[in-house]
């Protein structure tokens, strides 16, 4: 049953570029990128209860790092560029995460919100590096002899990276580390009393979350091909929060589904820009009031767990 | 006035006074956030949008009825109170038993919806808003001050004193302070905590509406003016979140800082000042300038 679901899922994902029109291939790439961010954010918010409204800032750092590296050093292969984007962003996550250890709840939310604003201002002011408001055009990336010029080739890169990061996240959450993170979420003091090094695990969550988002930023630069500061405003951070709320806090599968729902919705509302926030606000309120566990827990209720079956 | 230009005392006084005027608005915003926080222990992300909507309603009264400005102010305050009461009773009250995180997300959703609704009703354009105060600068010796600045400072101080009196001497004020201190004990003393929730939302929205009508002539009326709430939050954090005198002082300090910073720093940094101040204060002194961090309960 499980294997069949996984298998058919894999067939759909791999066959997608042949079945779907070109634009939907691009859209699927965006979903995969947002899924990576949502997983990263969920590791932070869903697992250690640290709410961030600054993930658009992390995405921007990863995207600009990858774009500038591609422009300045065209010979660096794509995997190295993506890794570099992730590491640069993870370093920023460390720089923000350590001082933020003292904050919790709404204080942390506001500090990360402010971080997001400061990143956008920094991109505007560092125009010798980022070209400020004019935006930055990203040249096609290369893997060895191949230049990634088609939506399909970029789609496969994005999906491969997403699959690797999903597997990694599942491994993190199912081991001692994941259990420690969950313990931090349930009660910081109880976790500490059980021998969980609070500061270390909360910082780790910040760094891993920033790394995921940075890699996603690198993929964003690759897929979209053009970066400008206004693509990374605070509303993007709100979108990311909406993804994990709708999908389910503390669930990897939920993050992916939340990313798919919100990205598709965003795209279908593109022609109705003035109604978009109205719909998104309503979704946030309704899912908080009536579906607090998100799609993931709703699915759990419908489908009995393996142990429950006779 | 560029970088490093010599600054006369008179010019400096002018900058400080207009900083205090902006600061008064931040202080009012901070107060309305703190009023709700003290009662319900949650942050209302939609505070700025409620301010914006009520100011728009007041403006509509001006346009449709050709009413005097004072009537517009009253209409704005009543609209704010009604909006707050409806939102609190229909949405927030349902989630009050949930975690603060949930309520935070719900108010975030509300802020998105209110801003979008304002855009649909009144467009996203900027509108001029009449002011209570004249535009001829007043001179005190060599110091020139805009009457609007003095008016905003005066009106805000009057409102703050009224709030102070309400909290100190009225039955409702005592009930609100009791709930802020200890909800369970307050309930055991026969205080209706639910009524205090509603009262806090209404009071906070009314304060916000006054702030909106005062600031609208300066920044123009638009669906974006709710963003002033972020500065209000910074002000409240600066003074120690939860403390009302702290909110007032924090607002004033932030307003002056924001106006002084461009004189000594590159002008492009002005928009980042409140955020940099917020990050710095949160990291260095999370309890605010005068506050203490409350011990955590298990």
pLDDT of A310: 36
pLDDT of B220: 86
Residue A195: left if φ>0, alpha if ψ -120 to 50, beta else—which one?
Answer: left
Other Cβ atoms less than 10 A from the Cβ of B298: the count is 7
Please enumerate residues of B whose Cβ is less than 8 A from a Cβ of A: 42-43, 91, 94-95, 98, 100-102, 104-106, 108-117, 119-120, 124, 230, 233-234, 237, 241, 268-269, 271-272, 274-276, 278-279, 282-283, 286, 296, 298
Mean pLDDT of B162-188: 89
Q: Quote the minimal CA–CA distance from B149 to chain A in Å.
A: 28
Please determine, for residue A103, whether its predicted confidence score (pLDDT) is greater than 90: no
Distance (Å, rounded) from C-alpha A305 to C-alpha A274? 42
Percent of chain B with pLDDT over 70: 91
Q: Do A89 and A58 meet the contact criterion of CB atoms below 8 Å apart? A: yes
A296 interfacial to chain B (CB closer than 8 Å): no
Measured between beta carbons, which residues in chain A are less than 8 angstroms from residue B109? 280-285, 288
A/B interface, count of CB pairs below 8 Å: 120
Is the complex ipTM higher than 0.95?
no
pLDDT of B47: 92
Q: Give the H/E segment covering residue B145.
A: strand B143-145
Nearest to B228 by CA among B3, B58, B46: B46
Measured between beta carbons, which residues in chain B are less than 8 angstroms from residue A99? 283
Mean pLDDT of A203-227: 93
Find the Cα–Cα–Cα–Cα dihedral B116, B117, B122, B128, rounded to 10°.
-60
Question: Between B112, B282, B286, which is nearest A277 by CB?
Answer: B112
Q: Do A203 and A101 meet the contact criterion of CB atoms below 8 Å apart? A: yes
Measured between beta carbons, which residues in chain A are less than 8 angstroms from residue B115? 277
Q: Quote the minimal CA–CA distance from A220 to chain B in Å.
A: 25
Give the N- to C-terminal CA distance of chain A in Å, as an integer.
Answer: 15
Distance (Å, rounded) from C-alpha A93 to C-alpha A119? 12
Measured between beta carbons, which residues in chain B are less than 8 angstroms from residue A125? 268-269
Give the model's confidence band at A147: pLDDT under 50 very low, under 70 low, under 90 confident, else very high: confident
Q: Which residues of A184-201 are buried (b: 16+ CB within 10 A; e: fewer)?
A: bbeebeebeeeebebeeb
- In this complex, do B113 and A113 lie within 8 Å of one another by their Cβ atoms? no
The three-class DSSP label of residue B86 is helix
Reported as a single tens digit per residue, the pLDDT across B120-160 is 999 888 888 888 887 777 777 667 778 888 888 888 899 99
Mean pLDDT of A8-21: 81
Distance (Å, rounded) from C-alpha A209 to C-alpha B39? 34
């Amino acid at each position: 049953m499980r294997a069949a679901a996984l298998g058919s899922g894999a067939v759909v994902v791999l066959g997608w570029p042949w079945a779907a029109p070109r634009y939907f291939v691009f859209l699927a790439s965006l979903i995969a990128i947002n899924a990576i961010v949502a997983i990263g954010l969920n590791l932070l918010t869903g697992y250690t209860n640290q709410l961030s409204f600054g993930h658009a800032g992390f995405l921007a750092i990863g995207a600009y790092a990858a774009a500038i590296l591609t422009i300045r050093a065209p010979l660096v292969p794509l995997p190295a560029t993506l890794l570099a984007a992730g590491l640069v962003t993870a370093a920023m996550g460390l720089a923000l995460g350590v001082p933020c250890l003292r904050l919790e709840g709404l204080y942390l939310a506001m500090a990360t919100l402010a971080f997001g604003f400061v990143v956008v201002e920094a991109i505007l002011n560092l125009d010798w590096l980022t070209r400020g408001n004019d935006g930055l055009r990203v040249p096609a990336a290369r893997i060895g002899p191949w230049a990634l010029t088609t939506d399909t080739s970029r789609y496969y890169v994005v999906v491969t990276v997403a699959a690797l990061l999903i597997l990694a996240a599942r491994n993190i959450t199912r081991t001692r580390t994941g259990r420690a993170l969950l313990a931090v979420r349930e009660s910081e003091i109880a976790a500490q009393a059980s021998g969980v090094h609070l500061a270390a695990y909360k910082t780790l969550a910040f760094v891993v979350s920033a790394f995921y988002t940075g890699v996603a930023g690198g993929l964003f630069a690759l897929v979209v091909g053009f970066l400008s500061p206004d693509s990374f405003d605070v509303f993007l951070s709100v979108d990311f929060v909406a993804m994990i709320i709708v999908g389910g806090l503390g669930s990897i599968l939920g993050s992916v589904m939340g990313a798919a729902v919100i990205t598709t919705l965003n795209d279908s509302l593109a022609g109705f820009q003035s109604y978009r926030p109205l719909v998104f606000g309503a979704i946030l309120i309704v899912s908080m009031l009536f579906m607090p566990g998100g799609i993931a827990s709703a699915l759990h209720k419908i489908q009995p767990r393996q142990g429950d079956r006779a | 006035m560029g970088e490093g230009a010599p600054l006369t005392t008179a010019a400096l006084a002018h900058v400080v006074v207009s900083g205090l005027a902006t600061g008064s608005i931040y202080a009012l915003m901070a107060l309305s956030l703190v009023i709700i926080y003290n009662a319900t222990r949650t942050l209302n992300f939609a505070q700025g949008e409620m301010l914006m909507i009520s100011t728009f309603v007041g403006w509509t009264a001006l346009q449709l009825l050709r009413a005097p400005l004072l009537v517009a102010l009253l209409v704005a305050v009543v609209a704010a109170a009604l909006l707050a009461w409806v939102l609190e009773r229909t949405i927030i009250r349902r989630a009050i038993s949930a975690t603060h995180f949930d309520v935070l997300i719900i108010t975030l959703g509300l802020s998105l919806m209110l801003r979008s609704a304002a855009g649909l009703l009144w467009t996203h354009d900027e509108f001029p808003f009449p002011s209570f105060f004249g535009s001829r600068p007043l001179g005190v010796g060599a110091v020139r001050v805009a009457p609007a600045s003095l008016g905003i400072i005066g009106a805000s101080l009057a409102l703050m004193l009224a709030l102070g009196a309400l909290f100190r001497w009225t039955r409702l004020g005592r009930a609100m302070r009791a709930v802020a201190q200890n909800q369970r004990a307050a309930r055991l003393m026969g205080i209706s905590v639910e009524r205090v929730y509603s009262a806090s939302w209404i009071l906070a929205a009314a304060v916000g509406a006054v702030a909106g009508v005062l600031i609208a002539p300066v920044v123009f009326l638009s669906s974006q003016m709710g963003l002033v709430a972020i500065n209000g939050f910074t002000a409240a954090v600066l003074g120690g979140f939860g403390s009302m005198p702290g909110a007032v002082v924090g607002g004033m300090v932030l307003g002056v800082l924001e106006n002084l910073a461009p004189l000594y720093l590159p002008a492009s940094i002005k928009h980042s000042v409140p955020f940099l101040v917020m990050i710095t204060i949160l990291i260095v002194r999370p309890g605010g300038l005068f506050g203490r961090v409350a011990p955590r309960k298990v």
